[in-house]
Amino acid sequence: MSAHDGACPALNVIMLGPPGAGKGTQAERLARARGIPKISTGDILRDAVQTGTKLGVLARKAMEAGNLVGDDLMIGIVEERLVRTDTRCGFVLDGFPRTVVQAIELDRIVDGRGPLLVLQIVVPEDVLVRRLATRRICSKCGVNAEPDHTDACGKCGGALVTRVDDSLDIVRERLKVYLRQTEPLVDYYSPRSSFRSIDGNQVPDIVTGAVAEALETVSRKVVL
């Protein structure tokens, strides 16, 4: 049986945006509000490795060798995750696809499960650099801290720490890598009526409202 059985209109969303744009926060909020899973590449990689699936074993070997997990392997792990029953009413993808090859395969994976809605969170580079240099994460569960959580993680209560890869030089390099590898996705998705850009240079609650409004607008243009 298909993961989407027709009992509910599927809300299949991709969150695009560079590091520091806030897409993780917005993906989490959207998933919680709509009752669908937020699926991040980091989470499903860890899950695949921990559960010891065939693809997880291959991914662990790649990571232990210091290599990036390749397109084919990442596509396979995402496909495994998207056939689980909790995705039958949709999902929010954070961190996938990262390449046009992955985007093409994702179109194949979700074919027949309703439209793919793509939201791009746009933030000026100087703002991204400032955000990333001051961003903190939970030392226990690893989630990014919400802006209003200054002392402890809002999810598990763990201590907040600065990410080791958020120094200014590393931040700028990460943004260059993102632009080089992931910006082609915007060219791939932007001609679609299901694509929207959102101004992420606002407080998170305003961005959340813009995300909801964009989804409503897009939903009226495509058949759900």
Residue 108 designated active-site: no
Q: Which of 46, 98, 172, 192 is catalytic?
A: 98
Q: pLDDT grade, residue 66 (50/70/90)? A: low
Over the chain, what is the mean pLDDT? 84
Total H helices, total E strands in the chain: 8, 7
b vs e for 14-52, b when ≥16 Cβ sit within 10 Å of the residue's Cβ?
bbbbbbbbbbbbbbbbbbeebebbbbbbeebbeebbeee
Query: Which of the pair, 71 or 30, is modelled with greater confidence?
Result: 30
- Return the amino acid letter for 71: D
135 annotated active-site? yes
Whether residue 163 lies in the annotated active site: yes
Catalytic residue (choose from 23, 29, 88, 113): 23
pTM (predicted TM-score): 0.79
Full set of structural domains in the chain with CATH: 11-124+183-221 (3.40.50.300)
Report residue 32's pLDDT band, with 50, 70 and 90 as the boundaries.
very high
How far apart CA 145 and CA 16 sit, in angstroms, is 19
pLDDT at site 224: 44
* pLDDT of the residue at 96: 92
60, 135, 140, 172: which is the annotated catalytic residue?
135
Say what the pLDDT of residue 174 is: 81
Q: Which two tokens stand for residue 32?
A: 């919680």
136 annotated active-site? no
